[in-house]
Structure 1
Amino acid sequence: MEAQADFIEEQTGSGRALRFTGNLAIARLGDLPKRLEQLSGPIEEVRLDEIEHIDTIGAWIVHDFAHTHSARITGAGPDATKLLDQLAQADDTIRSRVHVPYTPAFLRVMGEVGDATMVAMRTLLGLLGFFGATCIAIWSVIRQPSRFRANAVIQRFEVVGVSALGIVGLMSFLIGIVIAQQGAVQLRQFGAEVFTINLIGRITLRELGVLMTAIMVAGRSGSAFAAQLGTMKLTEEIDAMRIIGVSPMEALVLPRLLASVVMMPLLGFYSSVVAIIGGGIWCWIDLGIPPITFVQRLREVVPMTDLWVGIVKAPVFGAIIAMAGCFQGMQVKGDAEEVGMRTTSAVVQAIFLVIVLDAFFAVFFTQVGWI
């Protein structure tokens, strides 16, 4: 019967040595690895001249122990030597791959900032190129109106606009109530609760109605555009369209772009009206302002320019959302995980660009006197 794997500590002229005995196969190792971990102190030499047999697991235990204690291995037979050499080569390769050189925290942060900046610049250039391709597709459709896909655009009207009425209306109604409640609480300190109507009307028509609608459309429709086109890219449907002579920009991107541009002003106006209704109901309940008085006051304090500001911004926001979603969807390649990543990027980029443009519009309209 083969002996259980074991070891003997010996003292040599150069220091301590460890002599393995028995069968160093996985079936006969027993608690040998645990006992080896409990050894302390330097080991100069690992001897294998008395082992009966050794397999890969046993060879790995010997190699790892010798590497940990910086000990030399002696007495191994030809087969054991070959096995240990192969394990040493594999171990060196693995250790060289997992070894990460130390980099100071400041340099790591600066490197990440630089990488993020380069990604942002490449994305911006890609969006500009995609915008150029969209303009070319629009010009091609204008030159040949028969290539315009009216059915696809009408279908996107339903997806982007009609199907979004419920969630946009609920969100706007609640936002109107929140604005009225918070405004009334703050203005009550100065005895100026009546100016809550000014706050509701102006901030809703001018900013929040269109901005919150754009954010909702970006999360709802922009993500859908990216996921749909990304899935079509993975399944090679877009390549098949090119092969049969159908332009993906005209067949897929333009209907989504036109639907977003047309529906965003309507959704923005609808959102503003619903938010004003929510604020008016709260003013009626909390402040005792009747609906007739609320409407009359609203007409007095809210200029038409506030409505035009929202209407002007809405189609630009719609175009940005559609372009970001379609651009990210067309960039999908590799596997299904890329679809999720590109969808997330589409939503983040669309919301970021919408907020940046909203800030630009705020400054622009102030300069031209629409305040």
Structure 2
Amino acid sequence: MTTPTLAGSALMDSSISPPKLRISGDWTLVHYHHLKAQLKQLTDRYDNRTPVDLTNLGALDTAGASLLVELFGCERVSQLAGTAPGLSSSSRALMQNIQVALSDFCEPLKEPEQAVGMQLLLRIGRAVDTVWQDTLQLLGFIGLILETIMLNLPRPKRWRVTSVISHIEQTGLDAAPIVALLTFLVGAVVAFLGATVLKTFGASIFTVDLLGFSFLREFGVLLTAILMAGRTASAYTAQIGSMKANEEIDAIRTLGLSPIELLVVPRILALLISLPILTFVAMVSGIIGGAVVCAVSLDISPALFLSLLQTDIGVQHFLVGILKAPVFAFLIASIGCLEGFKVSGSAESVGAHTTSSVVQSIFVVIVLDAVAALFCMEMGW
């Protein structure tokens, strides 16, 4: 037969002087709410000098011990656990453990909420700092690349021709069809829009000039660079990032080899060769696409189209476009390789830095192209 439990109580015995606080019954989770109500009634009726009688204390668990700590405080409970007569060893040990746990507990402070404007300024500041740090890292990485190239120039035995040719095939030859198709379609669209707008003014013939200027100076190199930023920079980052995750780059350093010389320089040289060639392909394809639309919609024969192109478009426009290609190629390859070296070792990091390399490459290409266009316009080129 189960022994019935006696609800705990905390009563102030005022029949004696000084009054004594008598703790009795079971201080367990079952009687928690009843005991909590009694504690509220005892508020301001006792202090640290009030005598306490724990002789009739029955069962005690962690909930009851925490209420005793709430009633007397951590320091007084520690004193009672050590000196109170008639207290069982298990109750004494439990009171001491709860007292230590609650005395070490510190309720976390809620951080004050910041205003929306301050949060916006903080995010802008962090973004600016990130851009600045990435710029410094890129400049330092470019310095390492140029140093490695200059050191290896007088030593032909260290040139990795096979690796360069392999990367030229991957970045140049394999990308030629998509570049040609894309620029052909863009040339057709530009010619169609030019013909539609210029026809209103009776100047449809100037569609040829529009095509020549746009593709030789801007569209040819810009579209090709953006394609290479999405295709080649991401590939470079994924390749080097995977090697970083598999600790292959650490193995290269252990063997006394330079990762810059072995992995970066061949990719840089390959894109330096491929991008100008692809830019030329893009220029030709775009002009051919425009010529097709002119022949179909404007009755401008290919012979007349070429004659107008030769008469009105100077060679300097071709040079302005083609000379931007090596600069874009160097920056795209550098950013792609640098982001690969930043990979921390997980597949998630490889994906994040691959995305970052594409975004950074496209951003740098568009900004530099805009700056070059403004400079050439001011110089009259």
Shorter chain as denominator, the TM-score bin is: 0.7 to 0.9
Matched, 1:243 2:251: no
Q: Give the C-alpha shift of residue 109 in structure 1.
A: 1.0
Question: 1:265 matched to which residue of 2?
Answer: 276
Tell me the alpha carbon deviations over residues 145-186 of structure 1, each in whole angstroms, 9 at most, x when there is no partner: 211100000001011100101211121111111111111111
Tell me the alpha carbon deviations over residues 286-311 of structure 1, each in whole angstroms, 9 at most, x when there is no partner: 22222222121111221111111111
Taking the aligned partners of 1:158 and 1:54, their CA distance within structure 2 comes to 80
Taking the aligned partners of 1:116 and 1:174, their CA distance within structure 2 comes to 37
Amino acid at match of 1:331: K
Amino acid at match of 1:155: S
Q: Give the C-alpha shift of residue 84 in structure 1.
A: 11
Q: Give the C-alpha shift of residue 203 in structure 1.
A: 0.3
After superposing the two structures, state which structure 1 stretch, 194-203 or 353-362, moved more.
Answer: 353-362
| TM-score with structure 2 setting the length | 0.75
Q: Give the C-alpha shift of residue 335 in structure 1.
A: 2.2
**What SS does structure 2 have at the residue aligned with 1:170?**
helix
Distance 1:302 1:73, change over 3 A: farther
Taking the aligned partners of 1:86 and 1:194, their CA distance within structure 2 comes to 88
Native 8 Å contact 1:228 1:329 kept in 2 = yes
Matched, 1:352 2:363: yes
Question: 1:312 matched to which residue of 2?
Answer: 323
Taking the aligned partners of 2:61 and 2:198, their CA distance within structure 1 comes to 82
**What SS does structure 1 have at the residue aligned with 2:114?**
coil
Native 8 Å contact 2:244 2:345 kept in 1 = no
Taking the aligned partners of 2:346 and 2:103, their CA distance within structure 1 comes to 36
Decide which of 120, 124, 129 is 1:118's aligned counterpart.
129
Question: 1:213 matched to which residue of 2?
Answer: 224
Question: 1:366 matched to which residue of 2?
Answer: 377
Q: Identity percentage over the alignment?
A: 41
When the two chains are superposed, the root-mean-square deviation of aligned CA atoms in Å is 3.9
Taking the aligned partners of 2:341 and 2:299, their CA distance within structure 1 comes to 54
Distance 1:47 1:350, change over 3 A: farther
Matched, 1:287 2:298: yes
Bigger-Rg structure (1/2):
2
Decide which of 209, 215, 232 is 1:204's aligned counterpart.
215
Distance 1:73 1:286, change over 3 A: farther
Amino acid at match of 1:250: E
Tell me the alpha carbon deviations over residues 259-308 of structure 1, each in whole angstroms, 9 at most, x when there is no partner: 11111111001011111111111112222222222121111221111111
Q: Give the C-alpha shift of residue 366 in structure 1.
A: 2.7
Q: Give the C-alpha shift of residue 336 in structure 1.
A: 2.0
Taking the aligned partners of 2:336 and 2:119, their CA distance within structure 1 comes to 31
Native 8 Å contact 2:267 2:333 kept in 1 = yes
Taking the aligned partners of 2:100 and 2:295, their CA distance within structure 1 comes to 86
Question: 1:136 matched to which residue of 2?
Answer: 147
Taking the aligned partners of 2:176 and 2:225, their CA distance within structure 1 comes to 13
Distance 1:54 1:183, change over 3 A: farther
Matched, 1:343 2:343: no
Decide which of 143, 155, 167 is 2:166's aligned counterpart.
155
**What SS does structure 2 have at the residue aligned with 1:191?**
coil
Question: 1:5 matched to which residue of 2?
Answer: none
Distance 1:91 1:54, change over 3 A: farther
Question: 2:241 matched to which residue of 1?
Answer: 230
Taking the aligned partners of 1:44 and 1:115, their CA distance within structure 2 comes to 53
Tell me the alpha carbon deviations over residues 203-260 of structure 1, each in whole angstroms, 9 at most, x when there is no partner: 0111011001000000000011111111111111111111111111111000110011
Native 8 Å contact 1:45 1:73 kept in 2 = no
Distance 1:279 1:91, change over 3 A: farther
Taking the aligned partners of 1:117 and 1:360, their CA distance within structure 2 comes to 20
Question: 1:9 matched to which residue of 2?
Answer: none
Taking the aligned partners of 2:145 and 2:126, their CA distance within structure 1 comes to 28
**What SS does structure 2 have at the residue aligned with 1:128?**
helix
The count of aligned residue pairs is 330
Question: 1:325 matched to which residue of 2?
Answer: 336
List runs of 5+ in structure 1 lacking aligned partners. 3-21, 25-42, 67-71
Native 8 Å contact 1:46 1:73 kept in 2 = no
Distance 1:189 1:246, change over 3 A: same
Distance 1:215 1:81, change over 3 A: farther
Question: 2:190 matched to which residue of 1?
Answer: 179
Question: 2:308 matched to which residue of 1?
Answer: 297
Q: Give the C-alpha shift of residue 45 in structure 1.
A: 4.2
| TM-score with structure 1 setting the length | 0.76
List runs of 5+ in structure 2 lacking aligned partners. 3-27, 40-58, 73-89
Taking the aligned partners of 1:309 and 1:54, their CA distance within structure 2 comes to 88
Taking the aligned partners of 1:47 and 1:178, their CA distance within structure 2 comes to 85
Decide which of 96, 100, 103 is 2:114's aligned counterpart.
103
Native 8 Å contact 2:246 2:345 kept in 1 = no
Taking the aligned partners of 2:122 and 2:298, their CA distance within structure 1 comes to 55
Native 8 Å contact 2:241 2:340 kept in 1 = yes
Amino acid at match of 1:363: L
Question: 1:255 matched to which residue of 2?
Answer: 266
Q: Give the C-alpha shift of residue 365 in structure 1.
A: 2.3
Native 8 Å contact 1:160 1:221 kept in 2 = yes
